[in-house]
Amino acid sequence: MIVEALGWKRNDETWVRIGKFFAKILALTFAVGTASGIVMEFQFGTNWAEYSKFVGDIFGAPLAAEGVFAFFLESGFLGLYLFGRNCVSKGIHWFSALMVAVGSTISAFWILVANSWQQTPAGFVVRNGRAELTSFWQAVFNPSTLPRFLHTVDAGLIAGAFVMAGVSAYLILRNKETELAKPAMTLAITFGLIVSLVEVFPFGHMSGQQVARTQPEKFAAIQGLYSSETGAPIVFFAYPSTPPPQLKAKLELPGLLSWLAFGDVHATVRGLNEFPPDQIPPLWVTFVSYHNMVLLGVYFIVLMLVGFIQLRRGRLWESRGLLKVFVWSMPLPLIACQFG
């Protein structure tokens, strides 16, 4: 959307060509997303039929809303964006790019509403062996919807920035289409640095506080907090082992976990010892995946910051080692999403 706006408003053929180039990648990822999404929809009725029977009254509503309010919007305007470049005015063509972005974001919202309701269910009662909706508003805006939505959508923006930066770096290394690759990489690094920073503060912090308040057993598991502590430390590195649950080779900072969760370094954070065994998540995978996500998040900030500094110094295009790192880093945001 930004690329197409620059091409339209500046009447700059370079940005128009950049838009045409990355539109092909957009079309491919959209097609894969649609195909895999349809399979997922069918799985609710086949693989998880009992679950769908139990919560279908609630769970089906946001998924239906996603189809009605978002999918047709983004897919319809995507067709106009991809095939209408020389058939409509430049303003209408840019508007189609805007609507694809808006539709995708609305789509993400409704899908994350369904996901968040699974995590922190609200606005329902169990009646006649089924979960029945009592408040659509409470179900949609359950405690984890907005933190999860902001955190996840920003993660998508990080992934997009890394794809644009990595593809551009590859072209520069091969000395191909450099007149397109250099402005595209400048935009990707600037944008990527911003979205990487806000992924940690405020969005990541907001998400962590929500989990600490509404899913304390999950929070204790991902943080490796096996017993309740006042002034709980945050663990930067450790190796979890069982039995009994313990962290080996810990690198931690006292009080920081309490501050992150409740804004008070002396606050008490509940540990896994306060919860029944059947409410405790798997310990190893939750701890390791969460910490790998955080580690990658820090890496994204550092890499984008280094790239931005080299860009400002005018040394980025000659830094072949750094350009190679950008190419190799393209899949890492997607891996971080899976860890998350």
25 has pLDDT over 90 = yes
How is residue 298 written in tokens?
A: 């820090």
Asked if 58 and 138 count as a contact pair (C-beta separation under 8 A), the reply is no
What pTM was computed for the model?
A: 0.94
Of 62-76, 157-171, 173-187, which range is least confident?
62-76
The predicted model gives 217-246 an average pLDDT of 91
The predicted model gives 282-292 an average pLDDT of 94
pLDDT for the residue 242: 79
Specify the amino acid at residue 31: A
pLDDT, one tens digit per residue, over 65-123 is 998 889 889 989 999 999 999 999 999 999 999 999 999 999 999 999 999 999 999 99
- In this prediction, residue 219 has a pLDDT band, given cuts at 50, 70 and 90, of very high
- In this prediction, residue 306 has a pLDDT band, given cuts at 50, 70 and 90, of very high
60 has pLDDT over 90 = no
pLDDT, one tens digit per residue, over 130-150 is 999 999 999 999 999 999 999
| Distance, CA of 148 to CA of 141 (rounded, Å) | 11
Asked if 296 and 335 count as a contact pair (C-beta separation under 8 A), the reply is yes
| Strand ranges inside the chain, DSSP E | 124-127, 130-133, 229-230, 234-241, 246-253, 268-269
SS (H, E, C) 42-87: HHHHHCCHHHHHHHHHHHHHHHHHHHHHHHHHHHHHHHHHHHCCCC
Residue spans per domain, the chain: 1-142, 180-340
172 has pLDDT over 90 = yes
